[in-house]
Amino acid sequence: MVCEEELLIEKVCSLYEQISSLESLKPCKNVDMLFTKLVLTCIPPSPIDVTKLNKTVQDIRSHLIKLCGEAEGHLESHYSTILGSYDKPLNHLNIFPYYSNYLKLGHLEFTILSQHCTHVPTKVAFVGSGPLPLTSIVLASNHLPSTTFHNYDMDPLANSNAMRLVSSDPDLSKRMFFHTNDILEVSNALKEYEVVYLAALVGMDKEGKNRIIDHLGKHMNPGALLMLRSAHGARAFLYPVVEPCDFRGFEVLSVFHPSDEVINSVVIARKLYHSLEQGLVGSMILPNKCSEIQAFNPLNHGNMIEELAVEEQLL
């Protein structure tokens, strides 16, 4: 009897064959239909562990993540261009098909952040903000009204499209800044941020993601928070997965796996106060927590949060 996991893998591989045969991943009826089918296939909670897939399926997953990232980039550029043609782009964000997902993801990430923040952050960095920096916009508009947001993207066109969206807004035009840099070339500036968000699509495989996490671990201020997007279950066919052990130089505070239409898992970690040379090797998971990852859901029924370090909620 073919089990549920094998059926899911078969369906993902079939969709991969169709997607990888497309001439272009720019938004159109066929591209939208295939990616919608892929997301609907991967969203339901699944016990699948992508690290245990055979080599062929592992290779398909690696390429599929890159194809999803390329398609997401085209989709965001497409809608950023349309929004940029409005007088007040921020009044029309709901034309973006995944806008409600970003509202939910932004609220989720803010809720998790507020459980570990000792004060309202004054400066936040978002790495990989893209042409449609919805996370920064949602946070700045709905959750952190006095915080400035520094958006980093290596693509100058993404930044010029993004700037056009906020330039007409009297508030956000003064609180949103855009820097065209590969984050691996940014060092001292990273010390200025109390919170650094890392986009899901920055670092498209484990090696690339770990290189960036190591770089942030080297240059972020001790005590600063890193908010990172990962994936769980079958959603790991869409995005790279980051494990607590990948966070060298950080104390992993919690990992949250949504079970609703918010696709990304959220990981929050704090930059260690001691350098690695002082004997703290790898990511520090508080000993009283690492063996008994608690699964409780203070935010919403059906999700899972692995609370690795419980701290007083002061924000």
Binding site for ligand SAM (CB under 6 A): 72-73, 76, 127-128, 130, 152-155, 158, 182-184, 199-202, 229
Rg of the chain (C-alpha set) = 19
**Gap between the Cα atoms of 304 and 310, Å rounded:** 15
Q: Which is nearer to ligand SAM, 182 or 260 (CB)?
A: 182
User: What single-letter DSSP state applies at residue 261?
Assistant: S
**Residue count (the chain):** 315
As measured in angstroms, the least distance from the Cβ of 1 to ligand SAM is: 38
Nearer to ligand SAM, 183 or 285 (CB): 183
CB atoms within 10 A of CB 273: 11
* Closest separation in Å from C-beta 135 to ligand SAM: 6
Are the C-beta atoms of 12 and 46 separated by less than 8 Å?
A: no
Cβ proximity to ligand SAM: between 152 and 250 the closer is: 152
Whose Cβ is closer to ligand SAM: residue 9's or residue 183's? 183
Let me know: does 134 contact 149? Beta carbons within 8 Å.
Answer: no
Instruction: State the nearest-atom distance from the C-beta of 54 to ligand SAM, in Å.
Output: 28
**Least spacing, CB of residue 80 vs ligand SAM, in Å:** 10
The side-by-side arrangement of strands in the sheet containing 148-153 is 176-180, 148-153, 123-127, 195-198, 225-230, 265-271, 250-257, 304-307, 294-296
Residue 299: both structure tokens together:
């935010």
* Whole-number Å distance between alpha carbons of 228 and 242: 8
Distance CA 259, CA 104 (A): 12
CB 136 within 8 A of CB 176: yes
- Residue that has been written with the tokens 């409780």 in this structure: 296
CB of 127: closest distance to ligand SAM in angstroms? 6
Token pair in block for residue 55: 């080599």
- Shortest gap between Cβ of 262 and ligand SAM (angstroms)? 12
Closest CB to ligand SAM among residues 152, 247: 152
Give the DSSP H/E element, type plus range, for residue 82.
Answer: helix 55-84
CB of 172 to ligand SAM, least distance (A): 17
Nearest residue (CB) to ligand SAM, 11 versus 141: 141
Of residues 158 and 172, the one with the C-beta less far from ligand SAM: 158
